[in-house]
Amino acid sequence: MLLHWFQAEAPQGCEIAGTVGMPDQPSGLTPSIPVVGEVTVCLHAVANRRECECSGEMTTNVDYLCARCLCEIHKRLEIPFHEVLVRGTLSEAEVQADVIQVTEDEIDLDPYVRQAVYLAIPFTAVCKEDCVGLCPQCGRDRNLDPCDCQVDVLDPRLEALAALLVKNDEAE
Ligand SMILES: [Zn+2]
Ligand SMILES: [Zn+2]
């Protein structure tokens, strides 16, 4: 998705819309790595000779397994996008403000879109805050069916791993 600086210099700025693919997505669902779908982007850019402000909305779908109970989660994310691009030498304040320094008249926005999407993906991938997860001992989903196993309290991430091991044991 390209930003054409001269188009953004129009009095009303310009619209930039399109889709951006997310590379290197895993082929299957795993507990800690979300699969991110194509990103639909709708931006508005306004520029003067030196600076271009680019903002708007992005939407995408993420699919993953709950890190605790391993149920499938499908989420639609709506992510705001806001970047300032600057041509020429940056001032100290601009460096502090994390503006993007550019030299071309056509700027590929895909890397910035992808970065904003990655930053917006929830860090703890659980189906709900109070998900109690699978029982590491008997492998049951304790959200649906609490069991009476005596289980030492584990880190939730280890718990999902322990549950996987239980599943593997059962499969053998
Ligand atoms: Zn869960
Ligand atoms: Zn149990």
| The pLDDT of residue 170 | 64
- Same domain, residue pair 114 and 144: no
- Same domain, residue pair 91 and 45: yes
The reply to whether 125 falls in a domain is no
| The pLDDT of residue 11 | 95
- Same domain, residue pair 61 and 115: yes
Give the number of other CB atoms < 10 A from CB of residue 75: 14
- Same domain, residue pair 151 and 114: no
Q: Which domain holds residue 27?
A: 2-120
The reply to whether 164 falls in a domain is yes
- For residues 163 and 139, is the Cβ–Cβ distance under 8 A? yes
- Same domain, residue pair 106 and 149: no
Tell me, in angstroms, the distance from the centre of ligand 2 to residue 48's CA: 64
Q: Which ligand is nearest to the CA of 31?
A: 1
Tell me, in angstroms, the distance from the centre of ligand 1 to residue 74's CA: 12
The reply to whether 127 falls in a domain is no
Tell me, in angstroms, the distance from the centre of ligand 2 to residue 123's CA: 27
Total domains in the chain come to 2
| The pLDDT of residue 109 | 97
- For residues 87 and 122, is the Cβ–Cβ distance under 8 A? no
Taking alpha carbons only, the member of 48, 58, 55 closest to residue 5 is 48
- Same domain, residue pair 110 and 144: no
Q: Output the tens digit of pLDDT for each of the chain's 172 residues.
A: 999 999 999 999 999 999 999 998 888 888 878 899 999 999 999 999 999 999 999 999 999 899 899 999 899 999 999 999 999 899 999 999 999 999 999 999 999 999 999 999 877 788 888 999 999 889 999 999 999 887 666 666 677 777 777 666 666 5
- Same domain, residue pair 82 and 40: yes
| The pLDDT of residue 140 | 92
The reply to whether 50 falls in a domain is yes
